[in-house]
Amino acid sequence: MQVLALLIGIGLFSTYAFASSQSGQPVGGEGTNAVSGWNISGVHYLLADDPSRLAGVEFDLDGPADVVKVSLNSSGSMFFDCVHITGYHWVCGISPSMSVSEVDELRVIATGE
């Protein structure tokens, strides 16, 4: 009887271990998996007439995109539209301008090809 219980226990443990090793980590929401996409370089912040305020940001992507937007403050939900200039270069106007001290991130969202 003990041998039978031991065999059942080994069988159940093996099934549990196999099932456990096959399940992926639960993920959901933004930033939970690696996202393939563009690399960003040549970032330049454009100051407004009042140099304590930011009027825009420009940068280069390493490939073509159709739509690009940026966010500059991690606690906000405002995204600014970007305009394709030439090649892979994009310029994003910040309107209304924001205080330089409010900028705590550069989040770029691009879609397309």
CA distances from 12 to 9, 16, 17, 31, 92 (A): 5, 6, 9, 36, 58
Give the pLDDT confidence of 35-88 residue by residue, as tens digits: 668 999 999 999 999 999 999 999 999 999 999 999 999 998 899 999 999 999
Which pLDDT score, from 0 to 100, does residue 8 have?
52
Which pLDDT score, from 0 to 100, does residue 76 have?
82
Burial of 91 (0-12, 13-18, 19+ CB in 10 A): middle
Say how many C-beta atoms besides its own lie within 10 A of residue 61's C-beta: 22
- Is residue 82 within 8 Å of residue 70, measured between CB atoms? yes
Who wins on pLDDT, 49 or 28?
Answer: 49
Give the mean model confidence (pLDDT) for residues 3-27: 47
pTM of the model: 0.68
Break the chain down into helix, strand, coil percent, rounded to 5: 20, 40, 40
User: What confidence tier does 32 reach under pLDDT thresholds 50, 70, 90?
Assistant: low
DSSP code for 24: P
Residue extents of the structural domains in the chain: 40-111
